Amino acid sequence: MRLKHHVAVITGAGSGIGRASAREFAKEGAKVVVADINLDGARETVKQIEALGGAGLAVEVDVADPQSVERLVDETLKAFSQVHTLFNNAAIQVNKTVENTTVEEWNREISVNLGGVFLCSKFFMPHLRKTQGCIINMSSVNGFFVEPMCAGYCATKAAIIGLTKAMAIDHGKEGIRINCICPGYIDAGLAEGYFQAQPDPAAARAAAGKLHALWRIGKPEEVARLAVFLASADASFITGAALTVDGGFSSGLPPAS
């Protein structure tokens, strides 16, 4: 087990990639704090962790709210005394142009996607310093390879890449590693919401698959396993990196047939 005696906090772990990551961390021996704005979803993830023989704690949190994040820190330390990995995974997506995005939608997307990384990193940093732990931030290939109708989302994901590199430089001398993951289309979470909003979800999913060199969209477990690697000692000399797990999506469009 690569993460035995390890405590990981994963935001947005009540579903999708976050839930898959919580399970994978637990399989590797980590105790997992499952943080999500949807407490029922978080509790379901903990049930799945326990079914695997692991230990988890469900905590309701709004990563855009400083007081809520501080409660998350307190609950984590109360339950497990320490923390080794913070995985800033929580995010929302507004599928609109800038012109059509409301001010409220813009502010919420910024405060959750980017503000959540800032707040969680800020309040967990003193405790990660004690364990020489690590932070994993969820970005996206849309941080550097943009698509239509998601201007705010692309902006936040690009900013997360920059913030990751800045934090890595600031805190590397303290032994804290900070990296981000940039997935392509993944069959879970935000992408699933996008597919279901289309007139023909199955056709939309198939079309998205053909944008990738591997001609398919990814599985949440394929992202989760990269997160486990980044949290482990196997990644001990990796920091400030933006790692793609995108089936070749960002490499360019593959042949049509």
Which residues are known catalytic residues? 153
- Looking at the DSSP assignment, which residues form a beta bridge with residue 59? 35
Q: Are strands 85-88 and 56-60 parallel, antiparallel or unpaired?
A: unpaired
What are the backbone angles phi and psi of residue 178, rounded to the nearest 5°?
A: -135, 120
Token pair 């919420």: residue = 108
Cβ-proximal residues to 26 (8 Å cutoff; 6+ apart), any chain: 32, 49, 52, 54, 55, 56
Cα(96)–Cα(108) distance, integer angstroms: 14
Cα(85)–Cα(135) distance, integer angstroms: 6
